[in-house]
C-alpha cells in the first residue's frame, strides 16, 4: 500500500500542461527539478511561471518563468545563482510541485503580450 501511495505522489508531481496552466492562472510559486544539460543547469529551482507555449526552434513545449532560486548556469555570483528569467523545456522538468506561495506582480521586463522565444503562446499570466 505504501508503494502505491508513493507512486501516486510521484505521478502527481510530474509537469502536466494542466498543472502548468493552473499555476500560471493562480500565480503560484512552483518548485521544479529540471534536467538542464549545461553545467549548473540540473537541479531544483523555485520559480514563478508566467507563460507556456511552443518553442521557435524545436517546437517543444516550453515554460517561461522567473527563477527565484536554485540551480542555474545562466547568471551567478560565485556559487549563488542570480534570480532572472529562464526558459524551461517542459519535457526536461522531472517534478512540478505547487507551493502555497503566490506572486502578484510581474518581474522586470515581463512581456504582457507573450514571449518572443515562442512560436505560439498557450497561456500568458495576467497581472
Q: Which range has the worst mean pLDDT, 67-71, 100-104, 105-109?
A: 67-71
On the question of pLDDT at 117 being above 80, the answer is yes
Report the predicted TM-score, pTM, of the whole model to 2 decimal places: 0.80
- The answer to whether 63 touches 88, Cβ cutoff 8 Å, is yes
Q: How confident is the model at residue 42 (pLDDT cuts 50, 70, 90)?
A: confident
Which tops the pLDDT comparison, 82 or 97? 97
Distance of CA 34 to the CA centre of its chain: 9
Hey, what's the torsion of the CAs at 43, 104, 15, 70, to 10 degrees?
0
Residue ranges covered by each domain of the chain = 2-124
Q: How confident is the model at residue 38 (pLDDT cuts 50, 70, 90)?
A: low
Residue 107, CB half-sphere, CA atoms under 13 Å: how many? Answer: 16
Amino acid at each position: 500500500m505504501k508503494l502505491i501511495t508513493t507512486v501516486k505522489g510521484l505521478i502527481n508531481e510530474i509537469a502536466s500542461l494542466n498543472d502548468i496552466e493552473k499555476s500560471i492562472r493562480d500565480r503560484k510559486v512552483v518548485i521544479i527539478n529540471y534536467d538542464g544539460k549545461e553545467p549548473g543547469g540540473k537541479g531544483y529551482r523555485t520559480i514563478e511561471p508566467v507563460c507556456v507555449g511552443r518553442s521557435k526552434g524545436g517546437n517543444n513545449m516550453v515554460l517561461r518563468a522567473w527563477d527565484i532560486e536554485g540551480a542555474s548556469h545562466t547568471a551567478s555570483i560565485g556559487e549563488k545563482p542570480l534570480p532572472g528569467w529562464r526558459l524551461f523545456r517542459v519535457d526536461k522538468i522531472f517534478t512540478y510541485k505547487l507551493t502555497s506561495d503566490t506572486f502578484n506582480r510581474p518581474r522586470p521586463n515581463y512581456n504582457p503580450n507573450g514571449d518572443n522565444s515562442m512560436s505560439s503562446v498557450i497561456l500568458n499570466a495576467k497581472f
